[in-house]
Structure 1
Amino acid sequence: MGEGSESQTAGFAPERPPAGADWPTIGDWRKRTRAALLSRRLAIPTEERVTRSERISAALAAALEPLSDRLIGVYWPFRGEFDPRGVMAALRERGTRLALPVIVGRGQPLEFREWSPGSLMTQGVWNVPMPESGETVLPDLLVVPLVGFDKQGYRLGYGGGFYDRTIAAMATRPRTIGVGFELGRLDTICPQPHDIALERIITER
């Protein structure tokens, strides 16, 4: 896709629920929207994915540079997500401490374990690699992957609610940066009381 076709895909979603719709209706809309956005994300051609990812990497590195003395929670890419591992490696080379999420159970907050290149990894839920062992740490900042997002900073993820639950459970709320492709932009995700807006969102734009 070129720049012209990008504008056609950005903001795509099945028809939005009417104002005042109940949670089952909104939940069903989110499920359909999530599937549509994942399909579009996985279909990004390889060469274009590289170009878009380079833009995101540059913007993310610039955003994290002033925060490199913090403990930063990052993620391992999954299902066509932006791959942050190049940025992660560069941060580690400068001495920044990084941590990866661990799913400990359905309906529970994520735990984070410190990570560095060469850390022994194991397959977690959905076969996403995670540090095999290590003490639980509490990041000062979370880099959060996006399936979809809206102008208010609300995030559409995979439906498990892990990040919202994790942020809400932390004694000191971490700073948050959402990262994803522009094609995930929505007018609204129809936020609910349990949804937590992110402070900042970075895309290739």
Structure 2
Amino acid sequence: MSEKKLKSEIRRTVLAARDALDAQWRIEASLAIDTAGAEAIVLNKGAVISGFWPIRSEVDVRPLMFSLREKGARLCLPTIVDKTTIVFRELLRGAPMVDTGFGTAGPGPEAAIVDPTVMLVPLAAFDRRGHRIGYGAGYYDRAIANLRKKGIEPLLIGVAFEAQEVEQIPSEAHDVALSAVLTERGLRLMPEVSGS
């Protein structure tokens, strides 16, 4: 089986398992992720954090985003601007939200475009090495590559439920490993970050 087909099969299997999680449990787990993340994520002054508006059965990171704003972070959300690119628009309190593609919402075109220094990354599946499978469009890999071209090395924190962990994800040269993964059990640094 090719790596692409294997990733697609892992994505399908894990997303089905995530969809099967009890909706009330997902709410409680999202609140546990907020508590753990707000305590564990250390912010530099002026940190710009990208979050994401949850779709389908994803972790709801909105409580965590707002907890991090209370710690002094500036927030932004991704917006699809064409078939291959996302930009990050600043999320200000009270700003109107619009459809930003892929079933998500975010600030409209009048919002400032900013470069995140910390990224809360959505994912379908992850492994203990910090490799992830997204939803297959490659938006985040390209966005991270664009930030690196600007000299920005964002802290990449995958946010998921423990049920989304798999034994091993096949990795390709262009795949970007996560710095950490945050689940309802807490924040785990990945091997390349922790040195283990």
Q: Give the TM bin, normalised by the shorter chain.
A: 0.7 to 0.9
Structure-1 separation of matches of 2:61 and 2:75: 12
**Cα distance, 1:132 vs structure 2:** 0.8
Corresponding residue for 2:155?
175
> Percent of aligned pairs with the same residue?
36
Structure-2 separation of matches of 1:26 and 1:49: 30
Structure-2 separation of matches of 1:91 and 1:201: 16
**Cα distance, 1:94 vs structure 2:** 4.4
Count matched residues.
181
Q: Which runs of 5+ in 2 are unaligned?
A: 186-196
Q: How does 1:53-68 map to 2 (within 5 A)?
A: 53-67=30-44
Query: After the TM superposition, which parts of structure 1 deviate over 4 Å for at least 4 consecutive aligned residues?
Result: none
SS of 1:173's equivalent in the other structure is coil
SS of 1:137's equivalent in the other structure is coil
Corresponding residue for 1:7?
none
Q: How does 1:37-186 map to 2 (within 5 A)?
A: 37-67=14-44, 69-108=46-85, 110-133=86-109, 134-170=111-147, 171=150, 172-186=152-166
User: How has the CA–CA distance of structure 1 residues 33 and 65 changed in structure 2, closer, same or farther, with 3 Å as cutoff?
Assistant: same
| CA distances 1:39-71 after superposition (whole Å, capped 9, x unpaired) | 111111123223322221111111334446411
Amino acid at match of 2:3: I
**Cα distance, 1:72 vs structure 2:** 0.8
| CA distances 1:73-118 after superposition (whole Å, capped 9, x unpaired) | 111111211101112223334442100001112223x200100232
> If you compute each CA radius of gyration, which structure gives the higher value, 1 or 2?
1
- Supply the RMSD in Å over aligned alpha carbons: 1.6
- TM-score where L is the length of structure 1: 0.82
Structure-2 separation of matches of 1:95 and 1:119: 18
